Amino acid sequence: MEILVVGPGCPKCKALEKVVKEIIKEMKIDANISHLYDIRQFAKYGVRITPALVIDGKVVLEGKVPLKEEVRNIVKNII
């Protein structure tokens, strides 16, 4: 699973990355988690509002820091 946190590095972006890493660890999922900071590349994924979460090339969340349960549900629906 390829997970990409998209955002310029603001506190909300960092919070999203932290939540995602916690959930992936708790669920014991083999995933590559990275963070895209380059604003010029955001449009490549169709991201309009940050922070955003892209899993396997698909934007699954935009514009907010979700609760852990929401991230868990998103990941469950993908695997």
Helix/strand/coil for 69: helix
Domain ranges of the chain: 2-78
Q: What pLDDT does 64 receive?
A: 93
Taking Cα atoms as reference points, which of 14, 33, 20, 1 lies closest to residue 67? 20
10, 39, 49, 78: the active-site residue: 10
Q: Angle, to 10 degrees, between the axis of helix 11-27 and the axis of helix 68-78?
A: 60
Q: What pLDDT does 18 receive?
A: 96
Q: Using one digit for the tens of pLDDT, what is the confidence trace for 1-28?
A: 999 999 999 999 999 999 999 999 999 9
Q: Using one digit for the tens of pLDDT, what is the confidence trace for 29-73?
A: 999 999 999 999 999 999 999 999 999 999 999 999 999 999 999
At the second CATH level, the architecture of 2-78 is 3-Layer(aba) Sandwich (3.40)
Global pTM reads 0.92
44 in the Ramachandran plot: left (φ > 0), alpha (ψ -120 to 50) or beta? alpha
Is there a contact between 57 and 44 (Cβ–Cβ < 8 Å)?
Answer: no
Active site residue 44: no
Active site residue 5: no
4, 6, 13, 20: the active-site residue: 13
